[in-house]
Amino acid sequence: MSRFFSKTLEKLIPYTPGEQPKQVKKLIKLNTNENPYGPSPKVAEAITAAEIDKLMLYPDPEASELVEAIAKYYGLEKDRVMVGNGSDEILGFSFLAFQNEERKMFFPEISYGFYPVYEQVFQASGIHIPLDENLRIRPEDYENMGGTIVIANPNAPTGIALELSEIEHILKTNPDDLVIIDEAYVDFGAESAVKLLDKYDNLLVIQTFSKSRSLAGSRLGFAMGSREIIKDLNTIKYSFNPYNLNRLSILAATASMKDVEYFEDTRRKIIETREWTVNELEKLGFEVLPSSANFIFVKNSNISGKDYFTGLRKNDIIVRYFDKPKISDHVRITIGTPQQMQELAIVTRKLLDEK
């Protein structure tokens, strides 16, 4: 730390991204919930040499074309959608924008690792609500909170989804507080809260192109809510980085949003591969939490989380291990292609046999 670093940020612990190995050729990379199928082929068509020439010009700060495509897909008015440089940016804007006088922000104790980081950067007073003994979010724990609530649905790293009625319960019991639903994984089997937007003006839904649309490298996220909430987020955006999406990303995301067929096809494949993998691992004695995401959270009493993680790594398979209380027996495995998951099953069997 230099002597110039802000004293108020002295204790800041930044987010630790999953490993992004330089040499991916041999590795089976199942550690950061990327989508193995790649973006829609329409994305490559959209990024023409002529568009690359236009990089000399600033992008459209409103990203109107993209906002329109998202609004159309969800049947919303354009002014109820805003876009960000990854949903991480929108989550950051939200932590900055939506703190009440007491600066309270509520989120699950075990959830996306970025929430407690934003809590620190934006000096919120974070209240971390424990999960139940089955690592589930209990909606009853989120009644009348008196501050902004942030819930990932499905939750990470568990993959467990809440029912829409449970989200609705949280919205109903917090009419004067904002409820942010982070739907990074919603397309893999949960129900989107977008349906509730017309009924609840205290709802903000955040989604990303990183997982179900396979554009993690493009950094694209979006938010949907009331006009007023979207306006607030834009106030932050225009006070921070009006050109938050670059030209090529806007093109990529717009093309991807319009290619519904590819989207449906690839997400269905991932769901099918997930079900296959769950079945295989259960046969090998694993406990697998019920996942509605493109990853599974698993443990096995015959091998510790750490040993399983290390054993896979030695065999060129990377998964994610969290050395944290309550989840250190588990590893999180991204769903890859069927071939990758077959290899995972083979190596897993071998590791268990060696025990």
Ligand X SMILES: *Cc1c(COP(=O)(O)O)cnc(C)c1O
In the complex, the residues that contact ligand X under the rule CB under 6 A are 33, 86-88, 112, 152, 156, 182, 184, 208, 210, 216, 221
Give the other-Cβ count within 10 Å of 77's Cβ: 9
- Pick 86 or 311: Cβ nearer ligand X: 86
Nearer to ligand X, 59 or 221 (CB): 221
Strand partners, 28: 317
Closest CB to ligand X: residue number: 86
Phi, psi of 20 (to 5 degrees): -120, 85
CA distance 61 to 64: 8
Instruction: Tally Cβ neighbours within 10 Å of residue 143.
Output: 11
Cβ closest to ligand X, residue 91 vs residue 303 = 91
Cβ-in-10-Å burial (0-12, 13-18, 19+) of 284 comes to middle
Shortest CB 218 distance to ligand X, Å: 9
Smallest separation (angstroms) from ligand X to the CB of 101: 27
Q: Quick one: 171 exposed, middle or buried, by C-beta within 10 A (0-12, 13-18, 19+)? A: buried
Output the six-digit token pair for 312: 């896979």
**Shortest gap between Cβ of 56 and ligand X (angstroms)?**
27
Q: How far is the CB of 152 from ligand X (least distance, A)?
A: 4
Name which of 221 and 311 has its Cβ closer to ligand X: 221
CB 118 within 8 A of CB 76: no
- Shortest Cβ distance from residue 161 to ligand X (Å)? 12
Least distance CB 303 / ligand X (angstroms): 25
Q: Under a CB-based contact definition with an 8 Å cutoff, are residues 347 and 315 in contact? A: yes
Query: In the complex with ligand X, which residue's Cβ is closer, 192 or 348?
Result: 192
| Alpha-carbon distances of 283 from 236, 276, 338, 349, rounded to whole Å | 50, 11, 17, 10
Q: Which is nearer to ligand X, 147 or 157 (CB)?
A: 157
CB of 313 to ligand X, least distance (A): 21
- Tokens representing residue 56 in the block: 């000399």
**Nearer of residues 114 and 308 to ligand X, judged by Cβ:** 114
Alpha helices, DSSP H, located in 160-245 = 164-172, 227-237
